[in-house]
Copies of this chain bind each other. A is one copy, B any other.
Amino acid sequence: MSTRRDAVRQALTESTGFRSAQDLYADLRADGSKIGLTTVYRALQALSDSGQVDVLRTDDGEAVYRACDTESHHHHLVCRVCSTAVEIEGPAVERWAVEMGAKHGFTGVTHTLEVFGTCARCS
B77 touching A106 by the CB < 8 A rule? yes
**A119 interfacial by beta-carbon distance below 8 Å:** yes
Residues of B within 8 A of A105 (CB): 119-120, 123
Residues of B within 8 A of A118 (CB): 106-108
CA distance A61 to B107 in the complex (A): 24
Q: What is the count of identical protomers in the complex?
A: 2
B106 touching A96 by the CB < 8 A rule? no
**Which residue from B62, B100, B119 sits with its C-beta under 8 Å from A115?**
B100
**A86 interfacial by beta-carbon distance below 8 Å:** yes
A97 touching B109 by the CB < 8 A rule? no
Most buried by B among A61, A79, A106, A108: A106
B117 touching A101 by the CB < 8 A rule? yes
**Which residue from B61, B100, B107, B115 sits with its C-beta under 8 Å from A109?**
B115
A96 touching B101 by the CB < 8 A rule? no
Query: Which of A3-11, A21-29, A31-39, A87-95 lines the interface with chain B?
Result: A87-95
